[in-house]
Structure 1
Amino acid sequence: MTDALLKPGFSQPVGDAQQAFRVLLKVMSEPGVIRSLQQAQGIDHLAPAGMTALLALCDQTTPVWLAPVFNTAAIRTNLNFHAGAPLASDAQQADFVLSVPGELPPLEQLKAGEPEYPDRSCTLVVQLEQLGNAPVGDALVELELSGPGISGRRRLCVSDMGADLLSYLTERPHPFPLGLDLILVSGERVTAIPRTTDVEVI
């Protein structure tokens, strides 16, 4: 049964993992920049960019919480086999949360780090229907980003992120350097909004 659920991970484990990690570093250091991320194939409802991000970032020490839409036998099996990542039954204990906007756990309950160890925080990987730097279609939210890694301001257009996530990004309830980092994926596209980024809805 398990063998039947297994899908290929990285075809070249070292090279693909390094390439994917470089892409993720790029989008984290330049918020709102969109890049292709497709070294691993999608599984069930999980897009290639989302699966690739998890395989590049997760290992045996990083518990992952899966939203119901992603909590399938195939996704659980492949995350465990290819990354060794343990599954967290409680989102409060997770280092990574994989979700869609409508199934996010309460964000204020996730790990935001500690003053001495701000890196001990949760990273959100949220899959969206659409992701771009220019509006396409009618149902997009336009965000204006500013802060480190952005010269001036950068526009990001996304499909509905949900009120809770949007409120978190614009209000930033955790005092810096605490907070949650956000990776957004859609199909084979990825971008990031780290905790250092100021976000406005335009």
Structure 2
Amino acid sequence: MDPKTDALTGGFAEPVFHAQSVFRMLMDGMARPGTVNAILPEVEPPAPLGMAAGALALTLCDHDTPVWMTQGLAKSALGDWLRFHTGAPLTREKAEARFAFAESNAPLSSFGLFATGTQEYPDRSTTLILEVAALDKGRALTLTGPGIKDRATIAPLGLPETFLRQWTENRSLFPRGIDLVLTSGRQMLCLPRTCQIMAREI
């Protein structure tokens, strides 16, 4: 399909209703970290962005939310797709981004390069939507923190090799820091900055 056509198609069939349903699912995921949810509305974002990540983009982004994306996504029709469907401006500066998108296997040097908010306004931070190969076929990780009874286990496949170190550094900034949403196909799970993530003991 022509890239220009890609930018005009693939949005929500019922924008208000579908965005509301995805937003409710996102809030539920943030309240219950590590829970895997499946996006129901059909969307077709430009490759290589997946369906869940595309639905989140349509739900969260607007003309007041600067968006950063990896080079791989920037080379696709995603920028034009976001501008057409949401009006969101693009930025090359991670620290300016309200939302950031990264495809599977994209290198991410440090979460600390994104906006981490301030002590007075910790919500003025970046939410990173990171596509991974799968949410259930990787190394087991243990989650603890608010919204988790005792502990929870996740096993995403395709996280950066330095993920645990990066997350520990991110959590040390609390109440500042980024929030993370992992997506794979239709599925997503949320990792708010309040989570402690450790390699699962064997």
TM-score, length basis structure 2: 0.90
Q: Is the 8 A contact 1:42 1:49 kept in 2?
A: no
Matching of residues 9-158 of structure 1 within 5 Å: 9-39=11-41, 40-100=43-103, 101-132=105-136, 136=137, 140-158=138-156
Task: Report the alpha carbon displacement of residue 170 of structure 1 after superposing the two structures with TM.
Answer: 3.3
> For residues 126 and 192 of structure 2, what CA distance do their matches in structure 1 show?
11
> For residues 43 and 2 of structure 1, what CA distance do their matches in structure 2 show?
8
Describe the SS at the equivalent of 1:131. Answer: coil
> For residues 89 and 43 of structure 1, what CA distance do their matches in structure 2 show?
19
Q: Is the 8 A contact 1:38 1:52 kept in 2?
A: no
Deviation by residue 1:49-92 (Cα, 9 ceiling, x = unmatched): 01001111111111111101211342111101111110011112
Return 5+ residue gaps in structure 1 as ranges: none
Q: Is the 8 A contact 1:97 1:122 kept in 2?
A: yes
Task: Report the alpha carbon displacement of residue 96 of structure 1 after superposing the two structures with TM.
Answer: 1.1
Output the aligned Cα RMSD.
1.7
Return 5+ residue gaps in structure 2 as ranges: none
TM-score, length basis structure 1: 0.90
Percent identity, please. Answer: 33
The runs of 4+ residues in structure 1 deviating greater than 4 Å are none
1:79 maps to a residue whose letter is: L
Q: Is the 8 A contact 1:110 1:122 kept in 2?
A: yes
> For residues 116 and 75 of structure 2, what CA distance do their matches in structure 1 show?
27
Q: Is the 8 A contact 2:125 2:178 kept in 1?
A: yes
> For residues 184 and 97 of structure 2, what CA distance do their matches in structure 1 show?
22
Q: Call closer, same or farther: CA 1:160–1:4 in 2, change over 3 Å.
A: closer
Task: Report the alpha carbon displacement of residue 3 of structure 1 after superposing the two structures with TM.
Answer: 4.8
2:75 maps to a residue whose letter is: T
Q: 1:167: which partner in 2?
A: 165
Deviation by residue 1:150-202 (Cα, 9 ceiling, x = unmatched): 11111001113113333122343543110110000000000010000111111
Q: Is the 8 A contact 2:130 2:183 kept in 1?
A: yes
- Worse overlay, 164-173 or 107-116: 164-173
Matched length: 196
